[in-house]
Amino acid sequence: MAEPHRPGSPRVSLFWKLVTAARPLRHHPWLGDAVGIAMFVAAVALRFAVDGVLPPGFPFLTFFPAVILATFFCGLRPGITCAALSALAAWAFFIGPATGMNIADGQALIALAFFVAIASIDIALIHFTFGAAEQLREEEATTARLYESQHIMFQELQHRVANNMQFVAALLNLHKRRAADEPRHALVALDEARMRLDTISRIHRHLYAPERLDMPTAQFLRELCSDLIAAAGVEGIASEVSSPDLPLNVAQLTTLSMLVAEIVTNSLKHAFAPGSGGTVRIIVTPQGERRFEITISDDGRGLPQGVDLVGSKSLGWRIIQGLATQLGGKARLAEAAGGRGTAVRVEFALA
Each residue's pLDDT, cut to its tens digit, for the chain (351 residues) gives 344 444 444 566 776 777 777 778 778 888 888 988 999 999 999 988 888 787 767 788 889 899 998 888 888 899 899 999 998 888 888 877 666 666 556 677 787 888 889 899 989 998 898 888 788 888 888 888 888 867 766 676 666 666 667 766 776 777 677 677 777 667 766 777 777 777 777 777 766 665 665 788 899 899 889 888 888 888 889 999 999 988 887 778 888 888 998 899 888 888 888 778 889 999 999 988 888 999 999 988 887 776 666 666 677 788 888 889 888 888 888 877 767 888 899 998 886
Neighbours of 56 (CB within 10 A): 8
- C-alpha 2/C-alpha 302 separation (Å) is 70
pTM of the model: 0.53
Q: What angle do CA 204, 209, 211 make, to 5 degrees?
A: 145
2 DSSP assignment: P
Q: What angle do CA 11, 12, 13 make, to 5 degrees?
A: 110
pLDDT of residue 241: 93
Element (H, E) at 292: strand 291-298
Strand, coil or helix: what is 91? helix
Residues 6+ apart with CB under 8 A from 280: 225, 229, 237, 238, 239, 240, 264, 267, 268, 296, 297, 298
pLDDT of residue 8: 45
pLDDT at 5: 46
- C-alpha to C-alpha distances, 331 to 201, 296, 308, 339, 347, nearest whole angstrom: 24, 11, 14, 19, 8
CB 261 within 8 A of CB 232: no
Burial zone of 139 (CB within 10 Å; 0-12 exposed, 13-18 middle, 19+ buried): exposed
| Closest C-alpha among 309, 320, 323, 315 to residue 176 | 315
* Amino acid making up residue 267: S
How many angstroms separate the CA atoms of 37 and 198, rounded? Answer: 73
